[in-house]
């Protein structure tokens, strides 16, 4: 576990496996007179399905929040990071550590097993806060959790809607083989396909020994109008699959979930492909509103300032998460800078302008998500990502209503 404090201090924590470190900020951090507000971070940087960009986003956000925003009501933000290795056992162990550390809230880093942390956190009245609940069990209920972005179902529904409206009739999408993935492929995708009237199939690839030539071959043989990924465990997965599909001369539209790095490495192969997102991305900056362009510039400044960091979708998403949390809590009274107070504050947000995202309203009795809106982009020949619509896509509410926790 690692801690990212507000002051330039490196210390050894009493807990075994914990260390204190500070990200390198682009600017100097102020001196704080108030005690820190400490949050936990379920960090999925290790294990078979890592999301290393999340760690980069957290470090960058701490630098920005403490360096430019002045912390939260004058309190520096401090993060206790715990590597979940994406397994339920580690998520549960991390939750117990967060309870011991008396954190105010826990940030979810797009974990596939975050639900394992919920019993301990809920008992201690520590809310789980995230962007997209990658664990479908976490996303199925609203108790003691708030997610600023849309549920998984929104991205599938929104994308399938857009594909169908563009005349696409068949879709084959791959997903890493985990228990959570089977909820999506085996249960969710068939229902969505039938409801929306599109032929959609799902296939799996191994988390530990993926063969993207075989995945690409399966997609190419079926020859769907759209082929690609439901979600990607890493940018490398997207690059490998796109390369394999192009080598097989697949002519359909390649869908790469939320990946963007492959566009820079091979824009010619990327052109014509599609990707979705919960927030605006740097590749789409030229098409974004002026205020969003300013936010992208700010986020890029801090993310690029993290030594050895991993930029990309997850870095920007996690950066946005902590900024949203900090700005929301900055409006709360001192008495609410606690676990129950944080949950109350977040659940009460109405038309809240999220960083790089839409305005959201939280507090649904049935969904932990504050919005169902998403963006879908098409990669252009110049390597930019252009939105397929003028604004945010709202998936069909009637379809989402059939999915627990979606609305």
Residue 302: predicted pLDDT:
98
Report the pLDDT averaged over residues 337-361: 98
CATH label of the domain that carries residue 389:
3.40.50.2300
Residues 11, 129, single domain; the answer is yes
How far does CA 20 lie from the centroid of its chain? 25
Q: Which of 3-17, 184-198, 364-378 is predicted with the least confidence, judged by mean pLDDT?
A: 3-17
Residue 235: predicted pLDDT:
80
Residue 283 placed within a domain: no
Residues 387, 262, single domain; the answer is yes
How far does CA 190 lie from the centroid of its chain? 24
Residue 234: predicted pLDDT:
75
pTM: 0.87
C-alpha distances out from residue 147 to 45, 99, 205, 247, 379, Å: 20, 20, 28, 39, 28
* Element of type H or E holding 172: strand 170-176
Q: Rounded to a whole number, what is the largest CA-CA distance in the chain?
A: 64
C-alpha distances out from residue 318 to 47, 100, 138, 214, 289, Å: 19, 24, 18, 32, 21
Residues 97, 40, single domain; the answer is yes
Residue 365 placed within a domain: no
Q: Which domain holds residue 98?
A: 2-150+290-360
Residues 253, 314, single domain; the answer is no
β-partners of residue 377 are 275, 387
> What secondary structure does DSSP assign to 221-278, as a single string?
HH--SEEEES--S-HHHHHHHHHHHHHTT--SEEEETT--HHHHH-HHHHTT-EEEES
What is the SS3 assignment for 212? helix
Residues 269, 322, single domain; the answer is no
Query: Which percentage of the chain shows pLDDT scores above 90?
Result: 71
Residue 257 in this model has a pLDDT that exceeds 50: yes
Residues 185, 256, single domain; the answer is yes
Q: Is residue 244 within 8 Å of 271, Cβ to Cβ?
A: no
Residue 303 placed within a domain: yes
Exposure string of 17-43, with b = 16+ CB inside 10 Å and e = fewer, is ebebebbebeeebeebeeebbbbbbbb
How far does CA 400 lie from the centroid of its chain? 19
Residues 185, 265, single domain; the answer is yes
Per-residue pLDDT reduced to its tens digit, 216-246: 999 999 999 999 998 887 788 888 999 999 9
Per-residue pLDDT reduced to its tens digit, 202-211: 999 998 889 9
Residues 242, 378, single domain; the answer is yes
Report the pLDDT averaged over residues 266-282: 90
What is the SS3 assignment for 353? strand
Residue 368 placed within a domain: no
Residue 68 in this model has a pLDDT that exceeds 60: yes
Residues 218, 343, single domain; the answer is no
Q: Could you tell me the two tokens for 406?
A: 């979606």
3-state helix, strand, coil in the chain (%, to 5): 40, 20, 40
Residue 284 placed within a domain: no
How far does CA 374 lie from the centroid of its chain? 12
Residue 1: predicted pLDDT:
54
Residue 120 placed within a domain: yes
Q: Could you tell me the two tokens for 55?
A: 């760690």
Residue 389 placed within a domain: yes
What total number of domains does the chain contain?
2
Per-residue pLDDT reduced to its tens digit, 276-320: 999 999 999 999 999 999 999 999 999 999 999 999 899 999 999
Residue 282 placed within a domain: no
Q: Could you tell me the two tokens for 271?
A: 């052109």
Residues 145, 168, single domain; the answer is no
- Distance CA(175)–CA(155), nearest Å, equals 14
Residue 3: predicted pLDDT:
57
Residues 113, 222, single domain; the answer is no
Residue 26: predicted pLDDT:
52
Residues 90, 232, single domain; the answer is no
């Amino acid at each position: 576990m690692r801690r990212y404090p507000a002051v330039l201090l490196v210390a050894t924590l009493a807990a075994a496996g914990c260390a204190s470190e500070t990200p390198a900020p682009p600017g100097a951090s102020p001196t704080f007179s108030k005690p820190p507000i400490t949050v936990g971070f379920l960090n999925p940087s290790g294990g078979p399905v890592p999301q290393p960009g999340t760690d980069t986003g957290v470090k960058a956000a701490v630098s920005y929040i403490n360096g430019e925003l002045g912390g939260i009501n004058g309190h520096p933000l401090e993060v206790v990071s715990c590597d979940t290795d994406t397994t339920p056992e580690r998520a549960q162990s991390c939750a117990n550590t967060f309870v011991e550390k008396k954190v105010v809230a826990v940030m979810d880093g797009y974990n596939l097993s975050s639900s394992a942390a919920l019993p301990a956190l809920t008992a201690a009245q520590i809310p789980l806060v995230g962007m997209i609940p990658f664990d479908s069990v976490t996303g199925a209920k609203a108790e003691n959790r708030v997610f600023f972005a849309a549920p998984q179902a929104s991205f599938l529904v929104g994308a399938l809607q857009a594909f169908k409206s563009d005349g696409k009739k068949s879709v084959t999408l791959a997903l890493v083989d985990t228990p959570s993935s089977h909820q999506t492929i085996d249960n969710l995708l068939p229902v969505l396909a039938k409801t929306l009237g599109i032929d959609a199939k799902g296939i799996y690839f191994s988390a530990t020994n993926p063969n993207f030539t075989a995945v690409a071959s399966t997609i190419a043989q079926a020859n769907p109008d759209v082929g690609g990924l439901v979600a990607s465990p890493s940018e490398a997965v997207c690059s490998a699959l796109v390369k394999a599909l192009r080598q097989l001369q697949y002519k359909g539209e390649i869908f790469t979930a939320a990946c963007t790095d492959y566009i820079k490495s091979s824009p010619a192969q990327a052109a014509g492909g599609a990707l979705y997102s919960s927030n605006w991305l740097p590749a789409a900056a030229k098409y974004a509103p002026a205020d969003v362009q300013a936010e992208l510039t700010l986020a890029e400044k801090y993310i690029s300032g993290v030594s050895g960091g991993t930029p990309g979708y997850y870095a920007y998403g996690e950066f946005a998460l902590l900024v949203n949390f900090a700005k929301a809590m900055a409006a709360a009274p001192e008495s609410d800078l606690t676990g129950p107070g944080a949950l109350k504050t977040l659940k009460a947000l109405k038309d809240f302008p999220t960083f790089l995202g839409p305005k959201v309203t939280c507090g649904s009795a049935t969904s932990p998500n504050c919005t169902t809106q998403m963006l879908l982009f098409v990669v252009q020949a110049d390597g930019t990502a252009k939105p397929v619509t003028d604004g945010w896509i709202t998936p069909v509410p009637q379809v989402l209503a059939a999915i627990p926790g979606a609305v």
